[in-house]
Amino acid sequence: MRGLTAWDWPGNIRELENFIERAVIITRGKSLEAPLRELERTNTIEFPNANQHEVDQVAGERTNSPNDKTSIADEYERKQRDEIIRALTACKGRVGGTDGAAARLGMNRTTLLSRMKKFGLYAKQYA
């Protein structure tokens, strides 16, 4: 919560909405795993009244490599791809309908098809 409230949300409600959606997609288990590292403008999130140990604990390990944003994006895409594969496998390759992968993931069928195309996934692979 500290990380979410410390961010100034320059994109306003849409940025927050998209961030929460991404968090829901990548979360495994019962508690929400917010990808706070995506919010980092430099290398840390400024937390008022927090020592560095608390910041590292909330935001994950601190890194200084210029490839951090790339690796974070790659990790996010990998998790998203894995989640789509799990849903397709569970739904036996069915994308649409009430018992399809799109419904299971809580997204529109066309959105799922677009993401599948992006990741090079085909429903027939999981039928």
Number of neighbouring beta carbons within 10 Å of residue 101: 28
For the chain, the average pLDDT equals: 76
- Examine the pLDDT at 100 and tell me if it is beyond 50: yes
Specify the pLDDT at position 68. Answer: 61
Are 83 and 123 found together in one domain? yes
Are 5 and 49 found together in one domain? yes
Are 52 and 92 found together in one domain? no
Contact indicator for 45, 7 with CB cutoff of 8 Å:
yes
Are 51 and 73 found together in one domain? no
Contact indicator for 83, 22 with CB cutoff of 8 Å:
no
Mean local confidence (pLDDT), 11-19: 78
The pTM for the full model equals: 0.48
Label residues 69-85 b or e (16+ Cβ within 10 Å = b).
eeebeeebeebbbebbb
Are 48 and 97 found together in one domain? no
DSSP 80-107: HHHHHHHHHHHTTT--SSTTSHHHHHTS
Rounded to an integer, what distance in angstroms lies between the CA atom of residue 8 and that of residue 30?
A: 27
Band (pLDDT 50/70/90 cuts) for residue 37 is: confident
Are 52 and 11 found together in one domain? yes
Are 20 and 42 found together in one domain? yes
For residues 98, 102, 103 and 108, what is the CA-based torsion angle, rounded to 10 degrees? Answer: -100
Question: Where among 12, 37, 64 does a domain terminate?
Answer: 64
Q: Match 């419904």 to its residue by tokens.
A: 103
Are 56 and 88 found together in one domain? no
Are 72 and 90 found together in one domain? yes
Rounded to an integer, what distance in angstroms lies between the CA atom of residue 72 and that of residue 63?
A: 11
Q: How many domains does the chain have?
A: 2
Are 111 and 78 found together in one domain? yes
Give the residue numbers spanning the domain of 35. 1-64
